Structure 1
């Protein structure tokens, strides 16, 4: 009988301990929540700025598919930490000195009449200094069709959105660009 009473008292102490911990966590969380909700609008990135650079990138992709990489290259950061992961050629390039020649090569190989570019945006989001875009891209290059799933990462540099990473996976197995 004494053992049952001891177990019962132990359970009551345990239950009251959990109740006390829950109240303590609640009390500690309130100041944190009030700090989170008081973020000023100036600390957030303007969605319009990010949307504008994404629209400019779409135009740059169209020009790129016509053999003109200049606008697309202007949108890139020229730093040492930019990367391209190209699924169709199985290449991973790091640094502007490697990325730029790859962009030139791919755009050069895309030159042709009646090339087209369309896209379908899947998701995008921008924070104060970083943003991402996930989309499918559809190219028609010299009668060849290329369908890609692309993830692009952006970073603000001196108040301007720049591309810092692009990963493209070929959805159709078509390969127009030579290594």
Structure 2
């Protein structure tokens, strides 16, 4: 199997594991991450963590906030060079957070960096934040120019 095929398979497994995370189970999602000291996360709930000793518990905390949901991934860009690869995508869906009965919208822009470790692609960094509309951003930039 080629490195590209391996990467595609790792992404598929990570997306499946993400569905379990939204149901409150971090086990498979955590397994898709590197457990190294240089792993980082800038998560959708804010703040950041560095090193597996911080990232691992953060993923467990995130899973504990979810009690159901579904999402889709709209790929914007992907690339690979040597032992590093990246994904840039929009993550949209609905999630149930903190015991709420109603689903809330999920709309994140995501950048993920992967590293090929011992023959397996592992997530090395994730940055996710809420999607802001282009008009809102454009209006804010216009105000700066004045």
TM-score range normalised by the length of the shorter chain? 0.7 to 0.9
Structure whose alpha-carbon radius of gyration is higher: 1
Q: Is 1:122 aligned with 2:82?
A: no
Indicate the residue corresponding to 2:6 in structure 1: 49
Q: Which runs of 4+ in 1 moved over 6 A?
A: none
Higher helix share: 1
Higher strand share: 2
Q: Deviations over 1:90-117 (max 9, x none)?
A: x1210001101111111111114xx212
Structure 1: gaps spanning 5 or more residues: 1-44, 173-179
Structure 2: gaps spanning 5 or more residues: 97-102, 133-146
Q: CA offset at residue 131 of structure 1?
A: 0.3
What's the Cα RMSD here? 1.7
Q: How does the TM-score come out when normalised to structure 1?
A: 0.66
Counterpart mapping for 1:51-70 below 5 A: 51-70=8-27
Looking at both structures, which has the greater relative contact order when contacts are Cα pairs under 8 Å and sequence separation is at least 6? Answer: 2
Q: How does the TM-score come out when normalised to structure 2?
A: 0.80
